[in-house]
């Protein structure tokens, strides 16, 4: 499995989309979380997360809205995951929008994150799992444990660490990472 990130620059903010790329078409994503045996789930940035305001040309810090999944917003992809094991992790009433405070935007040391114990569909190939927006040129790091069901039906866990520096640079520190730049 590899991890990749791609970015867009919109109105002074950079939006990163993070993907997990499975080796087998039968692999199924189960969780992105913290696991003491592999890696804590942590999102850090030099600046806080940003969400797109109602005007597409303007970015701002808009929190506590349950349906933010637009072009410049910060959220988890809707792949059926459950966040009930992680209080204060996403906006109340939302299955997706990430709460942000300070430079450490999220930290779950063990058994916290997004979990789907019985995926109804196989998430294969390149799986989009999260989008984060930060101030332009701000470094962003995502660390954690990825749990998935392998083609043989066994639970597999791998640690991940992806750091995305200035827009257009390669995503670093993943098992193998590539970046792609687009301007909006």
Query: Rounded to an integer, what distance in angstroms lies between the CA atom of residue 103 and that of residue 117?
Result: 31
150: tokens are: 């392998």
Spatial CB neighbours of 121, under 8 Å, sequence gap ≥ 6? 80
* pLDDT for the residue 181: 38
* pLDDT for the residue 99: 53
Q: Is residue 177 part of a domain?
A: no
Q: Is residue 76 part of a domain?
A: yes
Instruction: Please tell me whether residue 122 adopts helix, strand or coil conformation.
Output: coil
* pLDDT for the residue 117: 63
Residue 111, domain CATH: 2.60.40
Q: Is residue 7 part of a domain?
A: yes
Q: Is residue 120 part of a domain?
A: yes
* CA separation, residue 103 to residues 11, 77, 148 (Å): 21, 22, 29
Domain span including residue 131: 2-166
* pLDDT for the residue 177: 36
Residue closest to 106 by CA, chosen among 116, 94, 115, 97: 97
Q: Any idea how long the chain is?
A: 184
Q: Is residue 79 part of a domain?
A: yes
Number of domains forming the structure of the chain: 1
Q: Is residue 142 part of a domain?
A: yes
Total Cβ atoms within 10 A of residue 159: 14
Q: Is residue 118 part of a domain?
A: yes
137: tokens are: 């040129």
* CA separation, residue 78 to residues 69, 126, 139, 153, 175 (Å): 9, 15, 25, 23, 24
Q: Is residue 178 part of a domain?
A: no
Total Cβ atoms within 10 A of residue 98: 23
Residue-wise pLDDT tens for the chain (184 aa)?
Answer: 676 777 777 777 888 888 888 888 888 888 788 888 888 888 888 877 777 654 444 445 444 444 556 677 777 776 655 556 555 555 555 545 565 545 566 777 777 677 766 666 556 667 888 888 888 888 888 888 888 888 888 889 888 888 886 444 444 333 333 334 344 4
* pLDDT for the residue 91: 52
Query: Rounded to an integer, what distance in angstroms lies between the CA atom of residue 16 and that of residue 35?
Result: 24
Spatial CB neighbours of 152, under 8 Å, sequence gap ≥ 6? none
């Amino acid at each position: 499995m590899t991890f990749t990130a791609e970015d867009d620059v919109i109105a002074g903010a950079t939006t990163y989309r993070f993907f997990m790329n499975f080796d087998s078409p039968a692999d199924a994503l189960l969780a992105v979380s913290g696991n003491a045996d592999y890696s804590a789930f942590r999102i850090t940035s030099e600046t806080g997360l940003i969400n797109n305001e109602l005007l597409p040309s303007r970015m701002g810090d808009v929190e506590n809205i349950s349906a933010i999944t637009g072009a410049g917003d910060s959220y988890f992809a809707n792949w059926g995951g459950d966040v009930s094991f992680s209080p204060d992790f996403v906006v109340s009433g939302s299955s997706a929008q990430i709460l942000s405070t300070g430079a450490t935007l999220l930290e779950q040391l063990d058994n916290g994150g997004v979990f789907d114990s019985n995926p109804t569909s196989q998430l294969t190939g390149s799986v989009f799992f999260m989008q984060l927006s930060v101030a332009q040129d701000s470094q962003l790091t995502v660390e954690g444990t990825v749990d998935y069901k392998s083609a043989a039906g066994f639970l597999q866990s791998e640690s991940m660490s992806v750091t995305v520096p200035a827009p257009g640079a390669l995503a670093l520190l993943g098992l193998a990472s590539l970046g792609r730049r687009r301007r909006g």
